Amino acid sequence: MRTPLIEMRNIHKQFGGVVALDDVSVTLHRGEVVGLLGHNGAGKSTLIKILSGAYEADGGEILVDGAPVTIRSPRDARANGIETIYQTLALADNLDAVANVFLGREIVTSLGRLNDAAMEHATSDVLAKLKVVDLKSVRAPVSSLSGGQRQSIAIARAIHFQAQILIMDEPCAALGPQETAMVANVIQELKRQGLGIFLISHDLHDVFALADRLTVMKGGRVVGDCHTADVTQDDVLAMIITGRPPA
């Protein structure tokens, strides 16, 4: 059997007395999109925040390409090729697209000064690759951009730095139909390039269109793991609600 790109084993996380994650194990392979499903409070976000370095797990281990890694901060996650696109997008709205794409990883000259020209050049390139439409200027504050354009900038930030693993939290929640289609195209393209993608969404329709495999969570545990082709939306809905695999 192939080594998974990501394997999270027996992850445990507690907030005070509340158990948020109880012995959770998930895997993700190259070129695979795994949909993470579940109600609010099922533990999807907590799991994903542990992988992206926003939280630290209380127990369990994370393997990238079969090798155990330690992820204590967003910086550690990025060093392991894990990029996260948060539902809130985590953009500094007062800054321009260039500053946001390179936030925390700026290109500097040999004297340590920001090399804005080089960063502007690279940003224009990566946004062109994403086929972002109608972007007035990469130097305008991102607060002046549309929802889809802001989403593109968050995606551009992840792919510019050669992510291996992409975590997308509700990527289409705030988007119109056209923009949703654009995000879907981007996901297909990244899949072809061999990235592994965790997709978190409430919208079963989106998930069925994009994901190869589904992992369903309830009450801090994994209650089901199946290939999208083998189940119907009704089966999955039942799993989310009852927490039992389909008969």
Could you tell me the smallest distance in angstroms from the CB atom of residue 88 to another protein?
A: 7
**Helix-helix angle 116-129:147-160, to 10 degrees:** 110
CB atoms within 10 A of CB 70: 11
Residues 56-75 that bind another protein (CB under 8 A): 73-75
Closest to 195 measured CA to CA, from 227, 158, 222: 158
What is the CA angle 10-205-13, rounded to 5?
Answer: 20
Nearer to another protein, 135 or 209 (CB): 135
Q: Judge whether 23 and 10 are in contact, CB under 8 Å.
A: yes
Alpha helix stretches (DSSP H) within the chain: 44-52, 74-79, 97-101, 116-129, 147-160, 177-192, 204-210, 233-242
Q: Both tokens of residue 5?
A: 């790109």
Q: Is 199 exposed, middle or buried (0-12, 13-18, 19+ CB in 10 A)?
A: buried
Q: How far is the CB of 222 from another protein (least distance, A)?
A: 25
Site track 89-128 with another protein (rule: CB under 8 A), x = hit: -xxxxxx---x---xxxx-x---xxx--xx-xx-------
Closest CB 103 distance from another protein, rounded Å: 4
Residue with smaller CB distance to another protein, 108 or 241: 108
Report if residue 158 touches another protein, rule: CB under 8 A.
no
Beta carbon of residue 156, minimum distance to another protein (angstroms, whole number): 14
What are the tokens at 110?
A: 């040999």
Give me the 196-235 binding string for another protein, x by CB under 8 A, dash otherwise: ----------------------------------------
Site for another protein in 32-61 (CB under 8 A): 52, 54
Residues of this chain that interact with another protein (CB under 8 A) are 52, 54, 73-75, 78, 84, 86, 88, 90-95, 99, 103-106, 108, 112-114, 117-118, 120-121
